[in-house]
Structure 1
Amino acid sequence: MNFKTLFCSLFNGSATALLLLSSQVNAQNVNISIETRNNALVLQADDKKNLNTIYFGKKLSSSAEYEMIPSQFKQSSEYTSVLNSAYTASGSKSLLEPAVTVTHADGNNSLDLRYVSHSVKKESDDVSLLSIILKDPVYDFQVTLYYKSYYKDDVVEQWSVIKHKEKGNVLLQKYASANLYLKAGSFWLNQYHGDWAKEMQPEESKITHGIKTLDTKLGTRANLFQPSVFMISMDKPATEDEGTVLYGALEYSGNFKTDIELDYLNNLKIISGINNYASPYSLKQNEEFVTPAFLYTLSSTGKGDASRNMHNWARKYKVLDGKGERLTLLNNWEATYFDFNEPKLFDLLKDTKKLGVDLFLLDDGW
């Protein structure tokens, strides 16, 4: 079942970027560095094969520096060693909101995902695809995490593929696309809401402890009241050209859910994917469940650059002929609504060619 093709075009813009991906093995740890032009997301498989996020921020001068981060910036006691998990499983050690919840074929609800291996495929000079295999040590259950990176525009697409070889169907209760983990002094959420004719109304608030959920259950026209796009500012509210900000969105036109959780160490977990409300999925043996991609970029120079990163990426990789020219269109709807006739339309049309109008659309409502 493949949801990646159900992309909801949320941006009228462009983009291209590649992540340089490197792996380092220090002692019993495996470090996986995903670097774009300005940023780095660093994952680490520890000696127990837990895959955690140890860094997400501006790229450091040497990849060897990432190995020192956990010891140099150690916080207070962490009881589970998976608080910063790269893909949080439920029913075992995690104390926070999970990215994946399952009921195994034998009825057990516990899941423990451990690092197995990773590989990198370079798709072009600018685009690379990292895949990381995680498996349960007891059940024949596997999740593969994908990170598609676009170097020049600091953009990453992330999704997961879930499959198993258990003796019977496995019930997927939750199946997120991405699980991010951020560290900062404080966090500010810029979200959007709306209705017909007043879409994308912005709201900004400081994130407090607990879970903030952005979701929709409408099915069709899912973005009507709550679009999936959001921004997270770190340390203080970002402005157009100043501040560190994460810009994220789910590439999916159906029901979505994004959980934003400030944990007891004051770090932020972001889990985004298909809304699992009333939507358990019975996964057959060897069947692959492919989630839609979660798209994000990180800017240290304000919201403007974050938005432009998304626009550049969309124009290059999602919008048909994104760098081509478009006809300039005149639509009569807001000018006349249902009350129009030939003289009114003629008055609208005269001299429009001088303004660069190429096409006229006669709109009489739905």
Structure 2
Amino acid sequence: MPIIVDETSRTFTLHTDNTTYQMRVDEPGYLLHLYYGTRSEGTMDYLVTYADRSGLCVCPHDVHDRTYSLDVLPQEFPFDGAGDMRAPLLRVRDAAGVYGCDLRYARHEVRSGKYALPGLPAVYDEGEGDGAETLSVTLADPRLGLEVELLYGVMPYLDVICRAAIVRNAGEAALTIDRLQTACLDFTHGSFDVITFSGRHAMERRVDRHFVDHGSFHVGSRRGMSSGQYNPLMILCDRATTETSGRAWSMSFVWSGGFEAEVERCQYAQTRMQMGLADDRFSYPLAPGEELVAPEVIMSYSAHGLSALSQNLHRCIRTHVVRGTWRDRPRPVLLNSWEACYFDFTGDTLVDLAKKAAELGIEMLVMDDGWFGKRNDDFRALGDWYVNEEKLGGTLAELVDRVNALGLKFGIWVEPEMVSEDSDLYRAHPDWALAIPGKDPVLGRDQLVLDFSRKEVRDNIYEQLCAVFDQANIEYVKWDCNRNIVDLYSATATDQGKVLYDYTRGLYELLERLVQRYPHILFEGCSAGGCRFDAGMLYYTPQIWTSDNTDAVNRLAIQYGTSFGYPASTMGAHVSACPNEINWRTTPISARGTVALAGGGFGYELDLNDLPERACEHVKAQVALHREIEDVVREGRYFRLSGPADEVCAWEFVAEDGSKAVLGTVLLLIEGYGVARYVTPRGLTPGAFYRELTTGNVFAADALMDEGFPLPINAEPYMGRTYRFERL
């Protein structure tokens, strides 16, 4: 049984195949956290200690025990108002504006299957066969009429436990929620590092690892989206933890708006890890009978290092977050028109690109920005989602038919959350943009943000997009979002503190309507590249454009960081022209191909008609190689063999049954008469033999995983290679 409840001791134990999570309701009625680690039997309440730690540690009025203080005890859902001075998950005000609550155990329920969150993305189960169960524990404050239902979704074979919370006003007076986070892990002792993923536009998700010392370390986003500055993924690990050994815990937020993730080491050397909604500009009123949902956090634990932890998250997201037609299917190799022609194209220009793409084996043409309204630059026309037939030289259907006749699928770019001041939509509905009355708005890329907290705004965009998608055989949509939310004012909001939360829920509502209406379309998320790469978006878009930066060397770092929490199948990765348009570096097309082949959404961002014949042969070979290795890249276990700061950056995909492996390398340090450099695979079948398919060489798996194999010594700068191994 995944969930075991001991009614006598009021202990709740959650088991996955390899982990155990345990909590207990203590005598005063508070829900204490006991354990999250390697699968174990019995009760771990002996880990909690009690002592008189002076009058500075306050205790609840009805306890009368100076050894008892919530300021020291490990908790499941810490809240503001009971003497715990560490960071809470919940802060609430009553109708008089007074802070403070006192949440104690009220009831619990065990249900078969994994819970769902109406209107929000969440991990899903696949029926009774996968053994998922849900534990619901309700905490209550009778004085306020406040209830908090804690939801735990146990996914046994994934080694994943999901958490969400529903805050309900079951009283007779209004309440206001000023802080709401979802999940907390309290550690009674230990010396830890925290790993987070920072960056910026075009350099997202770089790995940062810090020692957790006394005080609070937190990252988050105030930008109205999960952001490229900090990703909503956090890992806590023992200081000695490596890729292959040591304990590690992760939290991944299934939310695409602002967030905060924090690790705090308190006065008694205890550590609290937590994640949830950002406090910034958040203040959510609840009238009697209303409720507010804290979005889901995916938690996992590994006793065997960071690679195993990542593989847990990869398996969960790939098979239980990503949904729909494209979840388990090969994605088409595509050519995006942006770097080929930017805004300067016609229908004939695109057909010429498609002809060359067809010759090289590419399967889809994507028409990027510039096809709609009066959009010939990025100063105008966002919000006017009608086809510019004069520019295309005909209807959209005629263009798509011409491309389809060449054997290619057709895709299209949109940016539905934004509006230009110079647009018909803005002139008709200026109040539909988020803008503060009487204040000149802050522009980003010369555009404003539409108020997706309003249903009439979403309905208008939905109808416009459907009118376009219904015109022709559209099989791919790139959904872009190119600025942050600065001016926060909705013309219809009763409280502006609701708007950011309601905006993200509105975005999800629109996306859900579209993916249900167009199940055949492959939606790819994009936000100035990878600035909204999170599990929430992956519930609607099976892949996300990993970064606008397609430089092979920079992409090594970007994809390396992304791999800690997200599977390769979700990463859009393309080969672009050189010098690269972001940093002007020149790398060989072999390196660009090797790096891009490590993503599930493989394609090209260049003008194929400008390529020399030798480069075209490389493209043909890369497309053919992608088809051969796509299944292992999409579904295999992923190993980080070395990183972007090493002399060689190497990674590996291994089929779940160990029958095949794909290993990629890029040589980063080139020296005269250089030393031999070796790469050591992992995850192969012990005792087996493997043939490397390019050379025909046969290796014993045990020796290969012990000593590795040498790379060519006389290498070109940034030499990229993809090696394929097949078990004999």
- TM-score, structure 1 length as denominator? 0.83
SS at match of 1:296: strand
Check conservation: 1:34, 1:41, Cα contact below 8 A: yes
Check conservation: 2:211, 2:239, Cα contact below 8 A: no
1:139-154 equivalence runs, <5 A: 139-154=144-159
204 and 344 in structure 1: CA distance in 2 versus 1, 3 angstrom threshold: farther
- Give the Cα separation in 2 of the matches to 1:312 and 1:167: 45
SS at match of 2:27: coil
Which residue matches 1:88? 78
Q: Provide, for residues 308-352 of structure 1, a one-character-per-residue CA deviation record: whole Å limited to 9, x for no partner.
A: 111111122221242222222234655777899789958963752
Which residue matches 1:8? none
178 and 252 in structure 1: CA distance in 2 versus 1, 3 angstrom threshold: same
Which residue matches 2:11? 31
- Give the Cα separation in 2 of the matches to 1:352 and 1:183: 59
SS at match of 1:194: strand
Which of 120, 130, 133 in structure 2 is aligned with 1:128? Answer: 133
242 and 115 in structure 1: CA distance in 2 versus 1, 3 angstrom threshold: same
Check conservation: 2:149, 2:167, Cα contact below 8 A: yes
Which residue matches 2:2? 20
Check conservation: 1:184, 1:235, Cα contact below 8 A: no
303 and 336 in structure 1: CA distance in 2 versus 1, 3 angstrom threshold: farther
Which residue matches 2:289? 286
Which residue matches 1:225? 229
Which residue matches 1:114? 104
- Give the Cα separation in 2 of the matches to 1:195 and 1:46: 45
Which residue matches 2:318? 315
Which residue matches 1:270? 273
- Give the Cα separation in 2 of the matches to 1:244 and 1:348: 51
1:1-366 equivalence runs, <5 A: 20-26=2-8, 29-60=9-40, 62=41, 64-70=42-48, 74=49, 79=57, 80-82=68-70, 83-123=73-113, 124-125=128-129, 126-219=131-224, 221-236=225-240, 238-321=241-324, 322-331=327-336, 333=338, 345=353, 349=357, 352-353=360-361, 357-361=362-366, 363=368
Check conservation: 2:337, 2:350, Cα contact below 8 A: no
SS at match of 1:191: strand
- Give the Cα separation in 1 of the matches to 2:343 and 2:242: 41
Q: C-alpha displacement at 1:185, in angstroms?
A: 2.4
Tell which deviates more after alignment, 142-151 or 266-275.
266-275
Q: C-alpha displacement at 1:129, in angstroms?
A: 1.0
SS at match of 2:152: strand
- Give the Cα separation in 2 of the matches to 1:350 and 1:76: 74
Which residue matches 2:419? none
- Give the Cα separation in 1 of the matches to 2:216 and 2:38: 26
- Give the Cα separation in 2 of the matches to 1:206 and 1:181: 17
Counterpart residue identity of residue 114, structure 1? R
257 and 350 in structure 1: CA distance in 2 versus 1, 3 angstrom threshold: same
Counterpart residue identity of residue 95, structure 2? A
Q: C-alpha displacement at 1:267, in angstroms?
A: 2.1
Q: C-alpha displacement at 1:77, in angstroms?
A: 5.2
Counterpart residue identity of residue 47, structure 1? E
Q: C-alpha displacement at 1:66, in angstroms?
A: 2.7
- Give the Cα separation in 2 of the matches to 1:176 and 1:191: 18
Q: Provide, for residues 221-271 of structure 1, a one-character-per-residue CA deviation record: whole Å limited to 9, x for no partner.
A: 4312111112111242x3222221112111111111112111222222122
Check conservation: 1:184, 1:234, Cα contact below 8 A: no
Q: In proportion to residue count, which structure has more strand?
A: 1
- Give the Cα separation in 2 of the matches to 1:141 and 1:338: 54
Counterpart residue identity of residue 216, structure 1? S
Check conservation: 1:175, 1:274, Cα contact below 8 A: yes
- Give the Cα separation in 2 of the matches to 1:122 and 1:336: 54
Q: What stretches of structure 2 of length at least 5 have no aligned partner?
A: 58-67, 114-127, 371-377, 379-728
Aligned Cα RMSD in Å?
A: 2.6
Q: C-alpha displacement at 1:35, in angstroms?
A: 1.1
SS at match of 1:314: helix
SS at match of 2:316: helix
Structure showing greater radius of gyration is 2
Q: C-alpha displacement at 1:152, in angstroms?
A: 0.3
Check conservation: 2:251, 2:275, Cα contact below 8 A: no
Counterpart residue identity of residue 21, structure 1? I
- Give the Cα separation in 2 of the matches to 1:242 and 1:344: 53
Q: Provide, for residues 111-153 of structure 1, a one-character-per-residue CA deviation record: whole Å limited to 9, x for no partner.
A: 1111112111011342111100101253321111001111101
165 and 349 in structure 1: CA distance in 2 versus 1, 3 angstrom threshold: closer
SS at match of 2:44: helix
SS at match of 2:245: coil
Which residue matches 1:7? none
- Give the Cα separation in 1 of the matches to 2:142 and 2:90: 16
Q: C-alpha displacement at 1:279, in angstroms?
A: 1.3
Counterpart residue identity of residue 168, structure 2? K
Q: Number of matched residues?
A: 336
Counterpart residue identity of residue 292, structure 1? P
Which residue matches 2:630? none
- TM-score, structure 2 length as denominator? 0.43
- Give the Cα separation in 2 of the matches to 1:77 and 1:324: 60
Q: C-alpha displacement at 1:159, in angstroms?
A: 1.0
SS at match of 2:314: helix
Check conservation: 2:187, 2:271, Cα contact below 8 A: yes
- Give the Cα separation in 1 of the matches to 2:108 and 2:190: 32
Q: C-alpha displacement at 1:296, in angstroms?
A: 1.5
Check conservation: 2:194, 2:212, Cα contact below 8 A: yes
SS at match of 1:304: helix
SS at match of 2:295: coil
Counterpart residue identity of residue 205, structure 2? M
- Give the Cα separation in 1 of the matches to 2:334 and 2:189: 46
Counterpart residue identity of residue 81, structure 1? S
Q: C-alpha displacement at 1:110, in angstroms?
A: 2.0
Q: In proportion to residue count, which structure has more helix?
A: 2
Counterpart residue identity of residue 286, structure 2? L
Counterpart residue identity of residue 25, structure 2? A
